[in-house]
Structure formats: structure tokens, C-alpha cells
Amino acid sequence: MLPLMPAPRSSAGPVRTGNGRLRLLQVLGGDGRGGADQVALALADGLHERGFAVAFFVPPGFVRHQGERLRGRAVTLAQSFSPFSAATLGALRQAAQGVDLVLTHDSPARHLTLAAKALGGLQAPLWFMRHCIMRPPALPWAPWQRLWVAHQLAASEVIAESLIASGYPAQRVTRLYAGRNLSSFFTADSPAISVLRARLGLDVHPAPFCVGMVARFDRWSGWHPEVAHPKGFDVLFAALSRLDFPYRVLLLGPPNPEDHAALRAMAQAHGARPDWLIFPGFQNDISAYYGLMDVNVLPSRREGLGLALVEGLAAGVPVLGSGSGGIREVIQDGRNGFLFPEGDAVALASLLTRLAREPELRRRLGDEGRRQLQETAFDEGRLVGGFMDCLAREHPASVHGERMP
């Protein structure tokens, strides 16, 4: 057994509340820029408003990008998320002292907390929130998850189904749609949008058709520009190569110049215009950028939900998504946007052409999407309410001011 060592650095001690209610530790291995990170922050904000204490165990990059959102919270920094690091396991054990529940949102956090459970360094109940579709048959960790993970929250119905198909007990799976505070998307400031339009060179005449895509961009060993990408960048670029009118592509998500160069190479390889790609870089508040888009596209393969589509709907932008995974739970085909077959660049090109030529259709889809979104479960309030309902069902004492067992 690895020796457990004290935490290298912590900005606050164990999570405490004066009213004895739930004390939650969220463990995330991301750098604060991903969709799962946004969901974790939204959950923390909503629970804090209800009198619960929420702490974070995160890498330094998370604090670098989300320092303002974390202000006033207990935060423990981990220099590594290796489940084989004694220092990291010790840091997690110290951060989890006195908490009532540990919740993870991504793979590095899941592997670390499972190792801590196995070594006896994590006494509080462990919950996972899944943002990606599981791939059956179950991975080697799955039997241990069934033993050590008290509950699994699935960010969409298709994720819940994949968890159960992988062998996890259905009675310990709850579908809880990923959500975030959407108020800034509903009320984006028109002057701010005008400033961005000028800064990004979109205030030309005639105005080019602006295609938005909000997604992370990952590269791996053996990556090359012709590769089929999980988020479908290749599908978008192949579709754009078929357009016969001026366009610009607003790519929000890829943060680094190296990523921008790789995406320009990918665009060229698939016949799109590399010089028509626009990279604003990482932005904490992206609501005004949606105001620049004529259409919001997510051509992913195996998408868990597609929070970027939800943001587009809130901003009144028509959405196009592959018929992949949870995207079908967001897009009502023909009402708030359109679905196209996964990987089908020809179908996507046809939809882009239609929307470019029919501004009234774009307006109708955007208005209907915004209206429908107010009736669905993708905002922060529904996320927090659903989490509270699950707590009340699984651990009712924690909601009413007593410690969880």
C-alpha cells in the first residue's frame, strides 16, 4: 500500500458549514475550460445559494482560468492527478476530511478517487457525474466502480442508458441534464456584439455567413490533418468546401496557437478556407460571441449532450447537430434546428446552404429554440434542483441538516 502524505498546498481547510448541512467536495482534473468544468461551477454556485458548502480539488490550470468563479471557496491544488502518486492521494485525503460527499466530473478525477477509495484514503460516499457515453463492454475499472461508487449521475439520457448497458445497476443511475447559468446568453448586450463584430473583421459588406462551432480540440499521438476527429471538425471543413458563397467560421474552444495552426491545416486538407477561420482564444464569458453566429454547428461523433447547442438556443441561434448521442435530446429536428447523419458532410453542407439563403427560417428556428429552452432542463436551476432531488432520495438526512452516514 502506498503511504499517504499530507497535501502540498491548500487555500483552505476542510469544508465547514455553520448549519450542519451538506459539505461537498468536487474533484476535477480539467483546466477549467471544458463543459464538465462549467457544470461543476454552476452546481457549486447553486448549492452555495441554498446554504451548502462546496470545495474543489483541482489542478493549477483550473484556478488560472476560473479564479474569479472560485473566489471565497475552499480550493486544494494538486500538481498531479496520477492515481499512483502518494503525494496526490495524500492531498485528496486531506481535502476530503470532514466532507459528506465527493463528486467527480471527468476521467482523471474518477481514476484518482477510485484509487483513494481502494487505499482507504476516502471515507465519504463517492458519486460520479458522467458527461461522456460509456463504451460497453465495461472497462476493467467497472467492477470496482460498482463496489465503491455510491451513485452515478448521467448528463443525458443516452449516457444513463450506456452506464446501465455497461453493467452499472440501474437503481444507482440518475439522469441529471448538464446545465449552467444561461442568463447572459438570453440577454447578450448588442453594443458588445457590435464591438466584437468589428474587432473580428465581420463588419464587412456584404456580410459573410458566420458559422459558429464551440468545442474543444484534442490531438493525440499519430494525429494528422486528415483524421476523423471526435468533435467532427473534419466533417465541418468538408461541408464548408462545398459552399459557393463567402463564410467565416468562429471557432470557440481551441485556446492555443498550436491548435489554431493544426485546425488551419485540417481545414486546408478538407478543402475549406484556412484564412476564413477565426480564433478568439479562451473566453470565460462567450455569450456575446453567439450573437455573431448565423448558425451554431456541432458535428460530433458520440456526443454525450452538447452544452454548446444549449447555449446557442439560449442566444436565439439556429443549431445544427449530428444525430449523435445526446444531441438528439437537445435538437428537435425542424423546430429549433436540424439534425444530420453523423459524419455526413454532404448533408451538413446542404443545411448550411439552406440556412444561408433563408434568413426568415433562421429567425424562426432561433425564436422557437429560445422559447422551447425555457421549458427544458438545461439551466443551472434545473441542474441544482435535480441534484437536490437525488440527494433527498439517496441521503435525505444531508438535505435536512444532518451528516450523511
Looking at the structure, tell me whether residues 208 and 317 fall in a common domain.
yes
Is 16 a domain residue? no
What percentage of the chain has pLDDT greater than the value 90?
75
The per-residue pLDDT for 337 is 97
Specify burial of residue 49 (Cβ count, 10 A radius: 0-12, 13-18, 19+): exposed
In a domain, 44, yes or no: yes
Q: Mean pLDDT over residues 195-223, rounded?
A: 93
Same domain, 173 and 188: no
Residues 121 and 208 in one domain: no
Q: Name the residue range of residue 365's domain.
A: 183-373
Assign residue 394 the CATH number of its domain. 3.40.50.2000
* 257 shares a domain with 306: yes
Instruction: Please measure the distance between the N-terminal and C-terminal CA atoms of the chain and give it in whole angstroms.
Output: 26
pLDDT tens across 326-364, in order? 999 999 999 999 999 999 999 999 999 999 999 999 999
Residue 8 grid cell: 502540498
Residues 278 and 367 in one domain: yes
pLDDT at residue 403 in the model? 45
Q: How far is CA 339 from CA 48, 60, 160, 336, 351, in A?
A: 37, 38, 22, 10, 9
pLDDT at 189: 84
What tens digit of pLDDT does each residue of 222-244 get?
899 998 999 999 999 999 999 99
**Does 161 reside within a domain?**
yes
In angstroms, the CA 290 to CA 356 distance is 16
* Same domain flag for 342 and 193: yes
Residue 216 contacts residue 34 (beta carbons within 8 Å): yes
Both 189 and 156 in one domain: the answer is no
Q: Rounded mean pLDDT of 103-130?
A: 94
How high is the pLDDT of residue 5? 28
List the grid coordinates of 275: 484564412
- Please indicate, yes or no, if residue 119 is contained in any of the structural domains: yes
3-class state of residue 339 by DSSP:
strand
Nearest to 23 by CA among 34, 36, 32, 12: 12
pLDDT number for residue 295 = 98
Q: What is the mean pLDDT of residues 185-205?
A: 91
For the cut 70, the answer to whether the pLDDT of residue 107 exceeds it is yes
User: Are 131 and 269 members of one domain?
Assistant: no
Q: Does residue 398 register a pLDDT over 80?
A: no
Confidence of residue 140 (pLDDT cuts 50, 70, 90): low
Contact yes or no for 236/213 (Cβ under 8 A): yes
Number of independent structural domains in the chain: 2
Same domain, 384 and 249: no
Q: Yes or no: say if 124 and 25 are a contact pair by the CB < 8 Å rule.
A: yes
Q: Please check whether residues 264 and 152 belong to one and the same domain.
A: no
Q: Same structural domain for residues 247 and 273?
A: yes
SS3 content of the chain, % helix, strand, coil (to 5): 40, 15, 45
Contact 209, 246 (CB under 8 A): yes
The SS3 assignment for 29 reads: coil
Q: Is residue 2 part of a domain?
A: no
Helix (H) or strand (E) holding 45: helix 35-49
